[in-house]
Amino acid sequence: MKDRRDVVLLVAVVFAFLAPTLVAIGSRIAFGYDEAVYAQLTRHWLTGAPASGWDLHRPPGLSVLGILPQVFAPGTEWAQRVIGAAAGAGLVVAGWWAARMVGGRQAGIIAAVSLAAAAPLQVESASFLTDVPSTLVLVVIAGLGWRQLLGPGPIRRSFAWLGVLAVLAFYLRYGAVVELAGLAAASMVVAPRKLVAGWRPVATALIAFVAALVPHAVIAIAETGMPWGILASAGRAAGGGDGLPLLSYAAWFPWRLIGPLGAAVAAIGIVAIIRHAGSQAFARFIGVAAVVPIAVLGTLVHAEPRYLLVPMTLLVVAGSVELSALLSRRTPGRALNAALIGVAVAGLVLGAAVTAVEHRSRAEAFDWKREVGLDIGALAGGTDCSILTADVPIMSWYSGCPAVAFLGGRETDRIGLLTGSRRFVVVRADGHLQPPDPEVDRLLAGAEVWATYTDGRGRPAAVVYLLPEPSSVVPAGQLVEGVAQDL
How is the chain split into domains, by residue range?
Answer: 2-29+77-329, 367-486
Sequence-distant (6+) residues with CB within 8 A of 484 are 50, 51
Helix (H, G, I), strand (E, B) or coil at 453: strand
Instruction: For residues 52 and 158, give the distance between their C-alpha atoms in angstroms, rounded to a whole number.
Output: 41
31 burial type by CB count under 10 A (0-12 exposed, 13-18 middle, 19+ buried): buried
Instruction: For residues 334 and 170, give the distance between their C-alpha atoms in angstroms, rounded to a whole number.
Output: 47
pLDDT per residue, tens digit, the chain (487 aa), is 667 888 999 999 999 999 999 999 999 999 999 999 999 999 999 999 999 999 999 999 999 999 999 999 999 999 999 999 999 999 999 999 999 999 999 999 999 999 999 999 999 999 999 999 999 999 999 999 999 999 888 999 999 999 999 999 999 999 999 999 999 999 999 999 999 999 999 999 999 999 999 999 999 999 999 999 999 888 888 876 678 999 999 999 999 999 999 999 999 999 999 999 988 999 999 999 999 999 999 999 999 999 999 999 999 999 999 999 999 887 677 888 899 999 999 999 999 999 999 999 999 999 999 999 999 999 987 788 999 999 999 999 999 999 999 988 777 788 989 988 999 999 999 999 999 999 998 889 889 999 999 999 999 999 999 998 876 444 444 444 444 334 3
Continuous segment of H or E residues that includes residue 357: helix 334-380
Helix (H, G, I), strand (E, B) or coil at 449: strand
Sequence-distant (6+) residues with CB within 8 A of 186 are 284, 285, 286, 287, 288, 289, 292
Continuous segment of H or E residues that includes residue 111: helix 105-116
Instruction: For residues 178 and 164, give the distance between their C-alpha atoms in angstroms, rounded to a whole number.
Output: 17
Instruction: For residues 487 and 481, give the distance between their C-alpha atoms in angstroms, rounded to a whole number.
Output: 10
Instruction: For residues 15 and 426, give the distance between their C-alpha atoms in angstroms, rounded to a whole number.
Output: 41
Dihedral angle over CA of 217, 219, 221, 224, nearest 10: -120
Candidates 154, 170, 156, 158; CA nearest to 209 is 170
Q: What angle do CA 461, 465, 468 make, to 5 degrees?
A: 175
Ramachandran quadrant class, 156 (left: phi over 0; alpha: psi -120 to 50; beta: rest) = beta
